[in-house]
Amino acid sequence: MGNLSASLHGRDLLSSADLTRAEYEQVFATATELKREFRESRRHVAQPLAGRNVALVLEKQSLRTRVTFEAGLNQLGGHALPLGEGIGFGVRESVFDIARNLALWIDGIVIRTFDHSVVTELAAEARIPVFNALTDDEHPFQALADLLALREHFGSLEGRVLTFIGDGNNVYHSLALAGATLGMEIRLAHPDGYGPHEAIVARAEKIAIATGGKIVVGRDPREMTPGSDALYADVWVSMGQEEQSHARFAAFAGYCVDSGLLDLAGPNAVAMHCLPAHRGQEITADVLDGPRSLALEQAENRLHVQKAFLVESIGR
């Protein structure tokens, strides 16, 4: 393992805008080293999280989040404390009291919830690092995994073009902020009424001015796609939006990443998806399961970027 980065020691990760370019590179470097070692032996010789206890507060369903955080902590000598939904943020007990109590006992908190303000309040009060494993506004660890997959595939990120097809959602928000920080061009093609948060786009645009990146938002997937290095699909109906299913399916017709759209991007373009996927809706099976898909690399990288950030933030 490399030397612990002083800049990330004790740090939260609440938003993809929390990290500088150098800090992204630090996480990527640590994740790459951890990934190489794990692929070789399925083990890690060093145990930098030994004695560390981290709570997992998962108020939304998960496969990748729960397994990768629990397994990652175990692989590096740490211990996960899954708290599930029973903790009752703001219902059974205030966020303030929960934060102050957890900080007395453990070393960090991973939280996957709905309202982003719960995460920011928890971080403000906890006095131990808080890690955002998904809110309605952002999904920063997913963006880290995605951009590491692109970096591995293309060799570099600066100047690369990623086009998100569909909803201006939490994953897009984090990709826009992270991509802008790393000098990328992040595009979004979305139906009317399903755009991103204007404040987050404005923040990404401000970052891009300083880095040479670019944010482009439009409507027509076929207009936004040419010249893209990657086309990114996500589900049309996220958790908590089930009552909107009929309206969303109607609005998103024509926003499917299929082989024709991928070919329009260019012969070297790749397809991306954060999973879970609905084949035949936001992406076709031949693209998701085909040779130009990075979906499994993205999923694999969730384990390693999360381990890397935990090592940098709370490792010894």
> Which residues are marked as active site?
112, 139, 142, 234, 274, 302
Cβ atoms of residues 221 and 189 within 8 Å: yes
Look-up of token digits 């010789």? 45
Helix (H) or strand (E) holding 81: strand 79-82
From CA 57, how far away is CA 197, in angstroms rounded?
Answer: 25
Cβ atoms of residues 241 and 217 within 8 Å: no
From CA 106, how far away is CA 283, in angstroms rounded?
Answer: 41
Q: Distance from CA of residue 159 to its chain's centroid? A: 20
Buried b (16+ CB within 10 A) or exposed e, 70-98: bebbebbbbebbebeeebebeeeeebeeb
From CA 35, how far away is CA 165, in angstroms rounded?
Answer: 29
Structure tokens at 180: 């802008």
Q: Which amino acid is present at 120?
A: T
| CB within 8 Å of 188: residues ≥ 6 apart | 163, 164, 168, 172, 176, 195, 196, 216, 217, 218, 224
| CB within 8 Å of 277: residues ≥ 6 apart | 233, 235, 283, 288, 295
